[in-house]
Amino acid sequence: MTRIFLLLLTALICAPAAFGQDRDYSRYEFYVGYANERANNNADRFDKNGTVSCNGALVDFRSERTSYNGFEVEFNQNVTRHLGIVTSFSGTYNTTGFFDQRSGRTFNARVQRYDLMAGPRYNWRPSGVTPFVHGLFGVSHVRARFDNALVPQVKSDTAFAMALGGGLDVHAGEHLDVRAIQVDYLPTFFGGKRQDNIRASAGIKIK
């Protein structure tokens, strides 16, 4: 009986220290920030490889990389001190021109890009900062509304996408970090072809 009592007493004394080891990270984190995405304009999908018409004439848009600005939000659950599961959603926007290689005209469109992904993240935890890397997988949706009389005028498409990258969080308080930078290589696979995109983000993380 005395031995059991001593074991229980030792466990109670050690418990605060054991729980204290958990205090350099939070179980749940929420991030919101500005995002810039340098991405393919999906010209081949919107003109259906040169078979879309405008006032009876076919158009053939030129594929280009365009800059889109918007936001990114994340929810991260840390399963262990180093490993977390991230769900990420971003929306970026631009009013851009699509150049028709046949007529030489430029067709303006309001473009929206949405990326929804989830996957594992690995965190290092030196004092004061948290560098991390992750691999996320999901879908990318692109929607464009053309000002000109294309047929149809609104075009959209959805495809498989990935985000492979990482970033750096700087500790600003017990419940607040500043994400100094996050950069992702963002390949999408519209039409069975790979488009190579880059997304950069910075903002605030609440722990």
Looking at residue 193, which CATH number applies to its domain? 2.40.160.20
Domain membership flag for residue 129? yes
> Average pLDDT, whole number, for the chain?
87
Specify the higher pLDDT residue, 40 or 20.
40
Domain assignment present for residue 9? The answer is: no
In a domain, 153, yes or no: yes
Domain count, the chain: 1
14 band by pLDDT with thresholds 50, 70 and 90: very low
Higher local confidence (pLDDT), 206 or 148: 206
Q: Which of 22-31, 40-49, 146-155 has the lowest mean pLDDT?
A: 146-155
In a domain, 159, yes or no: yes
51 lies in a domain? yes
> Is residue 118 within 8 Å of 88, Cβ to Cβ?
yes
3-state secondary structure of 125: coil
Q: According to the model, what pLDDT value does residue 36 have?
A: 98
Mean pLDDT for the stretch of residues 21-29: 75
Is residue 45 assigned to a domain?
Answer: yes
163-190 pLDDT tens trace: 999 999 999 998 999 999 999 999 999 9
Domain of 45, in residue numbers: 24-206
Average pLDDT (43-57) is 82
Residue 162 within any structural domain of the chain: yes
What is the helix, strand, coil percentage profile of the chain, to 5?
A: 15, 65, 20
Assess whether pLDDT exceeds 80 at residue 9. Answer: no
Q: Which are the contacts of 28, defined by CB distance < 8 A and separation ≥ 6?
A: 75, 76, 77, 78, 207
- 15 belongs to a structural domain: no
- What pLDDT, on the 0 to 100 scale, is given for residue 23? 56
